[in-house]
A = this chain, B = another copy of it.
Amino acid sequence: MSAGSAEFSLPIRVYIEDTDAGGIVYYVNYLKYFERARTEFMRSLGYDKAALPEEDLMFVVSKASLQYRDPARLDELLEVTAQVISVGGATLTFVQSVNRAGECLVDGEVVIALVSTLTGRPRRLPTALRDRIGV
């Protein structure tokens, strides 16, 4: 049993493209923020697409859940976190949050799965990836 990866954090500025007519960040867009943080977390491990051992593998999101506590607004500078809390045969489970000045605005959980691009079937996570994530 593992204690999970370290928490990774990415600063993200809110632009007008992220907002809606309610004057706040459109709630759908927090999933984009979450993904940017996961992507940079993987990159920080030296793990971008080029690092996948075979051409026909890709990560897909299999589950996502979010809880909205307080809205972010235009021009604010946010911190978006990503942390792996568990690893399955073909999946990684992240907990993630969007924070402003230490206050959590949105948090959630995202499960991603490694699949074959040819068959869409799950594929076992490479050992090298598990090692780099440290879980």
Contact = CB atoms under 8 A, between A and B. Distances in A.
A74 B60 contact: no
Given A19-B20, A49-B75, A63 B63 contact: no
How many monomers of this protein are in the complex?
4
A34 to B, nearest CB: 9
A22 B58 contact: yes
A21 B16 contact: yes
Nearest to A24: B21
Interface residues of A, number: 37
Nearest to A14: B21
Of A23, A39, A62, A64, the most chain B CB neighbours within 10 A belong to A64
Interface in A69-108: 70-71, 73-75
Interface of A: 15-17, 19-24, 26-29, 31-32, 35-36, 39, 48-49, 58, 60-68, 70-71, 73-75, 117, 120
19 contacts: A15-B32, A16-B20, A16-B21, A16-B35, A17-B20, A17-B28, A17-B35, A19-B20, A20-B20, A21-B24, A22-B58, A22-B60, A27-B60, A28-B28, A61-B68, A63-B65, A64-B66, A65-B65, A65-B66
